[in-house]
Structure 1
Amino acid sequence: MKIKFLGGAGTVTGSKTLVESNGVRILIDCGQFQGIKPLRELNWEPLPILPDTIDFVLLTHGHLDHCGWLPRLVNQGFKGKIYCTSPTAAITKLILLDSAKIQEEEAERANKEHFSKHDVAEPLYNVEQAEEVFPLFRVIKPDDEIVLDAEISARFFNAGHIIGACSIELKLENKTLVFSGDIGRDDDVLMYSPIKPNKADYIFLESTYGNRIHPDEDVKLLLETYVNNTFQIDGTVIIPSFAVERAQVIMYLLWQLKKEDRIPDIPYVIDTPMGISVLDIFINNRKWHKLSESDCIAMCKMFTMNSDYQETITTILDKQPKVVIAASGMITGGRVLSYLERYIGLPETTVILVGYQAEGTRGRKLLEGATELKIYGKYYPVLAKILEIEGLSAHGDQTDLLNWLSKLENKPKKVFLVHGENQPADELRIKIQEKYSFDCSVPLMGQEIEI
């Protein structure tokens, strides 16, 4: 059996792990690279194997760094089945259509304003190519056994993190391989705790926060303080947010604060069409999260929901204090860029970062104290307050990741740490070896192993 790490190795983006057994090829996730330019450029490179030789894609969840390369895979010849849960299928459709639309718009803008180094800027894929992915989806239920081949089966089980997210157990050649996907937190606001595996010969574990312990902070109190402090100086709060799960968590916390009369009566805006659509997925898939239908409906009534871009312009030009939740969470694209063009240079503005900021993203640069931000080829001075609430992360921290291994009834032959930058992955490796004495390693991008 061969395992090849095509993405999500030494980095938190572009997750792709290829499993080859007896002529059957299975790709675990098919993510898009984000962040620094050398990583983004990998999106344009062909896979080291022909996509039409891949038989199956098993999708852990619908975030762009796990599903965003599917249109390229299909466009280059993949015709197999894509297995995932029902919420993941719905979210992936939204994510891919939104990604394609943003890429089309940015390519058009780059050509119009001539800020691309290319003679003609092109999108990585367009809406039509994204839509070609959808007929290949095969929706499965958690814990059901899916027979992929005569002696190969898969089982999905809840990973927390976002709605529909699962870890995957793959049985083949009398071995059990477990792919964690992204692991959620044991005490998440909306998601249920991840299910821990009880048997595995080989484990492929994410390590995003492998060197971090989430602070024990009162996120509601922090949110309350930041909103009120900004309101007192007639400023606007901008919360760059991932449209899936994070936007809904922030909405829920703001709704709770408003019900308790702890934040002012000002406009609260959610400006991410995809985030608005995800609310319907939450309502239709209540067994996946802790919110009741009545809570979902009551929460939504508090917010102005911008779908049309003209509504975005109107909100941007409105000078009164307000709170805006807008995608994308790492400020790599989306409508949040339009808000920051106008507001990042105002000292009364507060930008609250509420999730992981990958290397090379605008969000990471702001966290590291950037004094200017490049948006659509222009530089804007950063005079706004840049704050962070770490306690809202949808990723488990080092403690959660170590706990995820705690129910194993056998000692795995090897644990591979993926989906993490090198230092967090290596620190988690040391912790796993100290706590469990498991053989543990951090694979390199492009590395192939035999088991």
Structure 2
Amino acid sequence: MKVQFLGGAGTVTGSKTLIESNGVRILVDCGQFQGIKSLRELNWEPLPILPNTIDFVLLTHGHLDHCGWLPRLVNQGFEGKIYCTSPTKDITKLILLDSAKIQEEEAEKANKEHFSKHEKAEPLYNLEQTEKVFPLFRVVKPNDEVQLDAEIVVKFSNAGHILGACSIELQLENKTLVFSGDIGQDDDVLMFAPTKPQKADYIFLESTYGNKIHPQEDVKLLLETYINNTVQAGGTVIIPSFAVERAQTLMYLLWQLKQEERLPDIPYVIDTPMGISVLDVFMENRSWHKLSEQQCVDMCKMFTMNSEYQETVATIFDQQPKVVIAASGMITGGRVLSYLERYIGLPETTLIIVGYQAEGTRGRKLLEGATEIKIYGKYYPVLAKVLEIEGLSAHGDQNDLLHWLSALQNKPKKVFLVHGENEPSDALRIKIQEQYGYETTVPMLGQSFDL
């Protein structure tokens, strides 16, 4: 049996782990690379193996860095089955269609305004190619054992990260392989705590925050303070947000603050069509999160939902103070860019960063104090206040990751640390070896191991 790391190694994006066993090839996640240009360029490279030789794809969850390369995989010949939970199937559909639409629009804009370095800008994939992915989905219920092959069994269990997110247990060749996927915080506002593995020979553990402990901050108090201060200065609050889970968490917290009369009467806007669509998935999958149907309904009443781009334009040019939650979460694309074109150069604006920002993304650059940012080929001065709330992360911190290993009843042969930049991964490697004595490795992109 062999494992090869085709993505999500040395970086938090592009997750792809290939398992080969007795002529069967299984790809765990099929994510898109994001962030620095050298990573993004990998999205255009073919896999080191032919996609038509892969039998199965197992999806941990529906974020773009875990599912966003599926249209390329299918377009290049993959015809196998894609296994995931029901919410992951729904979310992946929304995310891929949104991604394809944005890429088509950005390619068209680049060609029209001539800011692409290429003679003709092309989307990574289009809507037509994306539609070909969906018939390959097979839905799995959590904790059910599914026979992939005569001697291969897979089981999905809750990872707490976003709606439908799971860790994956793969049994083959008398060995148990556990892929954590992205692990949520134990005390998340909306999601239930992750299920811990009890047995594993090999573990593939995410390490996004492998060197960090989330601050014990009062998230609601921070939101209240930042919003009230901005409104008093006559400014607008912009919160770039992942459309799945983060947007809904923010809505819930703002709704609570409004109920407690801690926020002003101003417009509260959700400007992510995908985030609005995800609300339907939330309503249909209440066993996956903590909110009641009534809470979902009441919470939504507080917000103006912008679906059409004309509504976005009207909100942008509305001069009154407001709070806008807009995708994308790492400011790599989407409608948040349209807001920043107008508002990032105004000192009364507050930009609140509420999630992980990968290396090379606009979000990371802003957090690191960039004085200007590039949007659609033009540079804009950064005069807005850029603030961060770390407690809203959908990823567990170092303590959560170490705790996730605490229920193991056997000593695994090896722990591989994936989905992390080098420093966080190495810090977690040292911690695991000190605390548990497990042999722990940080694989490099493209590296393979015999298991």
State the TM bucket, normalised to the shorter chain. Answer: over 0.9
Instruction: Give the alignment of 1:309-348 within 5 angstroms.
Output: 309-348=309-348
Paired with 1:392 and 1:301, the residues of 2 have a C-alpha distance of: 22
Task: Give 3-state SS (helix, strand or coil) of 1:229's partner.
Answer: helix
The code of the aligned residue for 1:361 comes to T
Aligned to 2:293: 293
Partner Cα separation in structure 1 for residue 45 and residue 152 of structure 2? 30
Residue pairs, 1:346-357, within 5 angstroms: 346-357=346-357
CA apart distance, 1:399: 0.1
Q: TM-score, structure 2 length as denominator?
A: 1.00
Task: Give, in whole Å, the separation in 1 of the partners of 2:420 and 2:316.
Answer: 36
Match for 1:391: what amino acid?
G
Determine the C-alpha separation between the residues in 2 that align with 1:248 and 1:340. Answer: 22
Distance 2:163 2:109 in 1: 33
Name the structure 1 match of 2:419.
419
Tell me the number of residue pairs that the alignment of Structure 1 and Structure 2 aligns.
451
In the alignment, what sits opposite 2:68? 68
AA matched with 1:223: L
- Per the TM alignment, residue 368 of structure 1 is displaced from its structure 2 partner at its CA by 0.3
Within a 5 Å distance, the mapping from 1:370-381 to structure 2 comes to 370-381=370-381
Name the structure 2 match of 1:218: 218
* Partner residue, 1:55: 55
Q: How does 1:177-256 map to 2 (within 5 A)?
A: 177-256=177-256
Aligned AA (1:211): N
* Structure 2 equivalent of residue 430 of structure 1: 430
Task: Return the letter of the residue paired with 2:255.
Answer: W
Q: Secondary structure at the match of 2:170?
A: strand
Q: What SS class does the counterpart of residue 30 from structure 1 fall into?
A: coil
Aligned-residue offset at 1:56: 0.2
1:441: how far off? 0.6
Supply the AA of the counterpart residue of 1:125. Y
Please give the residue correspondences for 1:12-411 in structure 2 after superposition, counting only pairs within 5 Å. 12-411=12-411
Deviation at 1:226, TM superposition (A): 0.2
1:448 counterpart = 2:442: no
Q: 1:231-289: CA deviations, max 9, x gaps?
A: 00110000000000000000000000001100100000000000000000000000000
Q: Secondary structure at the match of 2:431?
A: helix
**1 CA distance for matches of 2:207 and 2:378?**
34
What 5-or-longer segments of structure 1 have no aligned partner? none
For 1:83, give the aligned amino acid: Y
Q: Which amino acid aligns with 1:300?
A: C
Query: Per the alignment, in what secondary structure is the counterpart of residue 106 of structure 1?
Result: helix
State the secondary structure of the residue aligned to 1:5: strand
Cα distance in 2 for partners of 1:23, 1:393 equals 39
Residue type matched to 1:165 in 2?
A: A
Give how far 1:350 is off: 0.1
Equivalent position SS for 2:115:
coil
**What letter matches 2:152 in structure 1?**
I
CA distance in 1, matches of 2:404, 2:242: 24
Q: Distance in 2 between matches of 1:42 and 1:61?
A: 21
Amino acid aligned to 2:285:
N
The alignment-based identity, stated in percent, is 83
Give 1:75 deviation, angstroms.
0.2
1:34-83 deviations in whole A, cap 9, x for unaligned?
00000000000000000000000000000000000000000000000000
Alignment partners' CA distance in 1, 2:183 and 2:86? 18
Question: Is the partner of 1:425 in helix, strand or coil?
Answer: helix
Any idea what the Cα deviations from partners look like across 1:92-148, whole Å, max 9, x if unmatched?
000000000000000000000000000000000001111110000000100111101
SS in 2 for 1:275: helix
- Equivalent residue letter for 1:337: L
Q: CA deviation at 1:213?
A: 0.1
Q: CA deviation at 1:84?
A: 0.2
Q: Distance in 2 between matches of 1:202 and 1:449?
A: 12
- Rounded to whole Å, the distance in 1 between the matches of 2:264 and 2:257 is 9
- Secondary structure, counterpart of 2:374 in structure 1: strand
Runs of 4+ in structure 1 off by over 2 angstroms are: none
Shift of 1:385: 0.1
Q: Distance in 2 between matches of 1:285 and 1:185?
A: 20
Separation (CA, whole Å) in 2 of partners of 1:146 and 1:78: 21
Whole-angstrom distance in 2 between the partners of 1:257 and 1:172: 50
Task: Look up the SS of the partner of 1:214 in the other structure.
Answer: coil
Distance 2:149 2:233 in 1: 63
Structure 2 Cα separation of the partners of residues 339 and 146 of structure 1:
46
One-letter amino acid of the structure 2 residue matched with residue 209 of structure 1:
Y
Output the CA distance in 1 between the equivalents of 2:298 and 2:27.
Answer: 41
Q: Which amino acid aligns with 1:394?
A: A
1:345, distance to aligned residue in structure 2 (A): 0.1
Q: 1:162 is paired with a residue of what secondary structure?
A: coil
- Aligned-pair distance for 1:211? 0.2
- Name the aligned partner's letter for residue 2 of structure 1: K
Residues 150-201 of structure 1: CA deviation (Å, up to 9, x unaligned): 1101000000000000000000000000000000000000000000000000
Whichever residue aligns with residue 63 of structure 1, its letter is: H
Residue 89 of structure 1 and its aligned partner are, at CA, apart by 0.1
Say which SS state the counterpart of residue 281 (structure 1) adopts. Answer: helix
- d(CA) in 2 for partners of 1:406 and 1:114? 54
TM-score by length of structure 1 reads: 1.00
